[in-house]
Structure 1
Amino acid sequence: MTNSYWLSSSGQFAFGFYKTQNNGYEVGIWFEKINQKTVTWTANRDGPPISNDVLLILRSEGRLVLQDEQGLQKALIANSSQPAASASMLDSGNFVLYNSNSTIIWQSFDHPTDTLLPGQSLVAGNQLVSAVSKTNHSTGRFRLQLQTSGNLGQYLATFQGGFLPEQEYWTSDTEGDNLSLNLDSNGQLYLVNSTGFNIKNVIEGRSLVMCRLTIDVDGIFRLYSHNLVQNSSWFVEWSSTTNLCAPIGLCGINSYCQLINQEPVCLCLPGLDYIDKNQKTLGCNRNSTIEGCDKAVSIAELDGLRWEPDTYEFLSLVDKDTCKQSCLNECNCQAAFSNRNGCYKQKFPLRFAKAGRIGFDTTIIKVHNGSNSFINTDAGTSKHVKKEHRIDTLIIGLTCTSFSLIIILFSLFFLCRNYFRPSENELDSKNDKEVLSLKSFTYHQLELATNGFNEQLGRGAFGTVFKGILPYGDRAIAVKRLEKVAAEGEVEFRNEMRSIGRTHHRNLLRLLGFCHEGSNRLLVYDFMSNGSLANFLYKSEVKPSWNERVCIAQGIARGLLYLHEECENQIIHCDINPNNILIDENHCAKIADFGLAKLLMPDQTRTMTGIRGTRGFVAPEWHKNMAITAKADVYSFGIVLLVITCCRPHVDVNVPEKEAILVDWVCECFKANEVRNLVQDEEVNMLEFEKIVKIGVWCIQEEPSIRPGMKKVVSMFEGSVDIPVPPSLSSYGSDSNSQLLHG
């Protein structure tokens, strides 16, 4: 094959045909100036190898194709909707197509494979996927994905749908809309939003001659540098983990990773053998079959291992010995996992092993007595506990016959019933397609995570919130159990799924997942260490400072602006109050509890509904049978703003009677130009204090049309608009000043 590649102007990069391990060819881009011809991009990476009798042809309609000697198209390399005039291999490592105006209409940088180069960005929703091996650049097993929520994480490539921390083996732990991952020439890797604001530096840069970021075949994300000196090689500047066994899924089914001589080795569980001894990463299977309950079986223990949570039965708060005995006594139990929360039984195959806590996490495997189950690992030491099961054959026969007859009768009944009625799962799956970014939990998983729903965090109109910990990790969560699922609870559940599942903002509480199993409806959120705004304001040992409170108020305003005007569909929260606003460890406000939200479609601006919300924070229009708009949230926000400003409840029986109702007291002081009386003995910026009180009074105007919209409120906070004196609360829009604030 002659003229098989095209160099960039400096000769640093080449685009063209490179040889594969099976003597075929692929089309790609690689570093050409160094001894290691490292591939950075491959076209059609999962396509068949290319023969040596093809050509790359750029067609005028905007397609770069592989064509054989007979003129037949063999593969499409690049495709643009615009006509193409030329192509170029740039010194950045980017291969581009131009139109007649020299505008780029297609570029390889927009279609990364396993590598990011300086000047290249990874946008939200895109991913890097590892290669199969160093010589086979087909799609491998691991991926680095920038989720639409703004989190950058590494996962096994086969994971679908929502992602949880238990599935991540590395994460940036960031969130936000329209983020992109960028690498500069100094090796700095950073996340920015659409306005160019730097969200996080993943890697701090330093002066590098040449660099690349690659998710390697072992699942680890690494920054490499090269000094371009003859005979030198790539140097690892940074890696996402130094634990070579960390990537989840590195070893296949029924196997786990152990470092031997600093190299990761996949080992089989007791009583199992490799599927292929030449490819140990494929996993393991049983070397003998355990059938029924009449075989002599044993229990092998491995300390300090965790597995994918795929439990068919959970036993809450039982010890390890009880867990072992329960598994031995049950024919279907092939393995179990025991920790401080209890025992959950599993069937083979076991997947995605990772290191757990020695002395706390125990894997229990049922093996045939003839199997060798004595294995020592870095994760812990396995133990062999023998117990024979001998059950009378006649009893088994009679029991199995009777049980089979019952199963046949029930099967006929359900077959006839389901023939005429679609299953609940089919109906639910159509609705759940809208929430692909969320994780679906089983009820047992959440029962385990919350230790049997033991620690209650709070209770609302529709359900109770419990604290928990993800079963296979240490991340704290809050689980909201909905209790009126037969009526409004079902509607609430669907509202939360549709609204929160599509919304991501710094000031919104992150929804991790849900449980929709039988009559159980549960929602899983991030846990907020500082609790609710109410507790933060009234029950903290140290009163939050004025500046902290201002930042919290601004965060709530920005979160509401997002719900009202910036997310895909307008969301009216309907219950903004200090108990539905949570405070994280950094004192950032998170709006929570969208169960009362009314999701408006694009052609709707108002909705009629029953009275909702919390007494004292409900807008007047709720009681007047008026249409409810986003201005109802503005009113509730106004009350919350005054509560934050004065750092006291909206009703307080422990103060003089004239001060008991906060709104009345604020309006009286404001009207008398005595706002200073609201401050008490606190040191505050009085100009800022008066400004925020003025914003609050505007928000609680009785007539909805007079209240500002949240966009105007945010502008008031930022000082980009003047704040006129608000009208009297008894006024209904006759005051000319009100026209300045229509939202």
Structure 2
Amino acid sequence: MGSFLFFLTSFFFYPLISGISFSEFVYPNFTASYLQFVDDSGAFLFSPNGAFKASIYNPEGQQTNFYLCIIHVASNAIIWSANRNDPISKSGKMDLTREGISIFDENGNLKWSTLKLQEAVYALQLTEMGNLVLLDQSNASIWESFHHPTDTIVLGQHLHAGAMLSNAVSGYNLSTGDYKFMITSSDALLLWRGQIYWKLSMDTQAYMNSNYVVNYMAINKTGLYLFGGNGSVVVTQVSLSLSNFRIAKLDLSGQFTVLSLSGNDLKKEFLGPVDSCRIPSICGTAGLCTADSTTNTPVCSCPAGFSAASNSKGGCLPSDASHSLPVACDSTNNGSQLNSSVESYLRLGYGMNYFSLLFSEPRYDVDLSACQNLCSGDCSCLGIFYDSASAHCYVLESELGSIISSNTLGNDLLGYIKVLVGQRRRSSTGSPGNQRKGFPVVALVLLPFTGFSLLVVLGLLWWRRSNIIMLREIKLGQPNSLSLEDLEAFNILGLPQRFYYEDLKAATDNFKNRIGSGGFGTVYKGILPDKTMVAVKKITNLGIQGKNEFFTEVAIIGNIHHVNLVKLRGFCAQGQQRLLVYEYMNRGSLDRTLFGNGPVLEWQERFDIALGTARGLAYLHSGREQKIIHCDVKPENILLQDHFQAKISDFGLSKLLNPEQSSLFTTMRGTRGYLAPEWLTNSAISEKTDVYSFGMVLLELVSGRKNCSVPSQSRSVVGSNSGGGNSSSSSGSGLVYFPLFALEMHEQGRYLELADPRLESRVTSEEVEKLVRVALCCVHEEPALRPNMVTVVGMLEGGIPLTQPRMESLNFLRFYGRRFTEASMIEEQDKQSNIMPHQHAVTATSITGSFTGFSYISSQQISGPR
């Protein structure tokens, strides 16, 4: 009887107490509405930690659209919504039954439900991570909101390959918008109405660790990751500052953002694409987007020949009211409008770009007329872009987005928008536009003459442009530089921007400001017309047989994008001139900073440089389909930007050496410092050769001095830090082969002896040990024992345990150390005896016998320019 009374009491009074919010669980036969929980802003369920709440919510306080939402309490950010495409009023309700969750409007019409479940529902749980979960009798999950993402994911949530996020229409209308963020088996993409406009792999902050198939994307306290190997392998990562709470969101505008909690606000940490003008419809159909130079915000206008549309969608329409923009055909529209209309093209002019050109496969080897013919009559084509330098034709299909205004483009890319001539265009009020009566009859007479005239004009323009180019090159004494071979070379896909020689000559003030030199040529500082600083590399002694080979190599290098690799902005191939244009690195090369007399590099800066260099090499070795071996890793080829961000230069350039120079790479028996033992034995050169060189660079970062040099008294390692102990790596004169000294100090556990004395006490033994152990593993004599660069990155980051160096594979350093000491002593004796340099070289060779590992050819002679 008591149980029955308790049941009746609970049954009748449940509605009276249901206005009280619950923690973690609610159970079937539960109902919630906004009015029922109005005092708590519609929240009926909180996570145990109070970080999240489930609520019948009206975004931005409006009173028409109410949704079942999961909300992050501190920031008030919506991380999930159930009925995003079917809002209810404040009188609508949510029911929890044993069949699942259902949402009804005020009239009792079903708007959304969890559909049919495999098991009966026992409870509804809101977890501490913000996951809304339906549990069965055994507490097993039978449905989760994490498996049905909307526009956001949070820590602990996986976005699996094939799944996607969709943006909301507005802040108060959560309906699915036109933008999608999708995970594929190899990348993360942004799409607008099926067209790609951004890839994670192209972002400068993204680092590719491996070529595994992507299983899912996740965010955690350290960054954003694409995982493969069932979660055991990081395929791509974006490292961010440490944060206890962050979300990844596809925002209203179509940008993919990662945000972290700062106080009660979410601050943007990562943005893709960074250039908002690359968002397809940022300025509406045919709108012109220009990035504000100070705020980097988009400024919308209309191209010449267009005016602002007066409808609610915005964008631009042809200024001539007799012209209208076609609608691309699809399954419901077969393009009948084109069959009854005359097509024409409105020219956009130079300096224009379009979001899809980076992701579209162009048509090759066509002229402008043929490019337009590809679009004419095709009901899915809405415009074209034509690159006159490469004879590439890009077709704009399906949907027409915004046009990008770019001051970095040359005069090679020209855009055209298809219009229908004679179509009646209605204004926003529905009244007819100004239509020319009788036009179709006149058109039948005039169009043949107009078309012929247009072809003549285009032919004259092409002839005039060709002659201008030829005249410009004749002025340089290169009248035959615009050859058929040049034109054929431009058919190679992916070439970066082409510069003219005289433009680079002007940018570098006639090549006066020299900032580096090496085996590939000389580097000059330049300033482009848009005030961008660049490094212009004049390549000498070009070795590849044909220009097509040069263009192919440039295309490969130009399409390598990584935050720790110097970016190739463009090239020049004019007559016999070959120049490469790189981004300018304002802090110069590592050797100048590390070994110079300027401010000392602090330990954290050295570690960041080591990690950045390792990431860059890992990307070259395994982050691309085509592996690239640098062959000349050393401080001179590691450049520094603001905050000492490291970027590797001269990757991929070894193929540009002439036969005489390339022989240095195949027969050189070592340069003091960086070349691996396999160079001495004519063994196969692999990516492990770069690993060895990186290990040597790591030791120099630790000590702040060259591995093969005589330390000054003020910075001598031996004597100043050794505590009087003897070492076979040194002699009485203080000569030190530092890699051997590092090996000996590692054996004795005396790591602080190896640190740059200028750091004084600002580094710990554990910090030095970490870099020294990684370095010694990298310089193992047998390439197979060296770790790959992905593993090196893992050890530096802490995700992979440090391994112990193999002593048996490091004994060769003792031999190197003895030879270095002998050769250095002879060099000092020769100086005192005034022996001529050529005599000195002979003497040194006779001492070292068959071992020529310390040939007196400097590393500068085989390095690429900086």
Scaled by the length of structure 1, the TM-score of the pair is: 0.48
Structure number having the greater helix percentage: 2
Structure with greater Cα Rg:
2
What is the TM-score normalised by the length of structure 2?
Answer: 0.43
